[in-house]
Amino acid sequence: MKEELKNADQAMPMVIVSHIPFITALAQVRGGSMTPNTRGLVVENSKEVLDLFENHNLKLVLQGHLHVLEDVYTNGIHFLTGGAVSARWWKGPMGEMEEGYLLLNVKGEEFSWEYVDYGWEI
């Protein structure tokens, strides 16, 4: 990644895709504001990786793994966690999160998203 960024146009809008999230509020939502993230919940060296983009135009991080929908916006970057078609591993919704997927619409440097209920029933 370091080598790719050396030759990249710093003004070009960038997107990172990662299965495991770089940033999430899930632990705090479930356990309270002082609950730490656990190993396997987030990328452990996320700060090191995100620091590589400090002088670049990182706009969006698409991430998954947690089977919830999140849009965390900080420092000009959206961290979108996209839910899961399997929701609670094919046993119905994950809390209030229906089985589905994130639909991303991109036009130039702008984007919008919506969560699409897959319509799967037990």
Residues 56 and 10: beta-carbon distance below 8 Å:
yes
- Determine the Cα–Cα distance for residues 59 and 17; give it in Å rounded to an integer: 12
Secondary structure letter of residue 38 according to DSSP: P
Radius of gyration over every alpha carbon of the chain, rounded to an integer in angstroms: 16
63-96 pLDDT tens trace: 999 989 999 999 999 999 998 888 777 787 877 7
Whole-structure pTM value:
0.90
pLDDT at 120: 75
Domains detected in the chain: 2-84 (3.30.750.180)
User: Which residue is associated with the tokens 């609950």?
Assistant: 35
Average pLDDT, the chain: 92
- pLDDT confidence band for 122 (50 / 70 / 90): low
Q: Which residues pair with 100 in a beta bridge?
A: 117
List the end-to-end C-alpha distance of the chain, in Å, as a whole number.
42
The percent of residues above 70 in pLDDT, for the chain, comes to 99
pLDDT at 32: 97
- Determine the Cα–Cα distance for residues 40 and 22; give it in Å rounded to an integer: 11
- Determine the Cα–Cα distance for residues 71 and 51; give it in Å rounded to an integer: 20
- Determine the Cα–Cα distance for residues 122 and 104; give it in Å rounded to an integer: 27
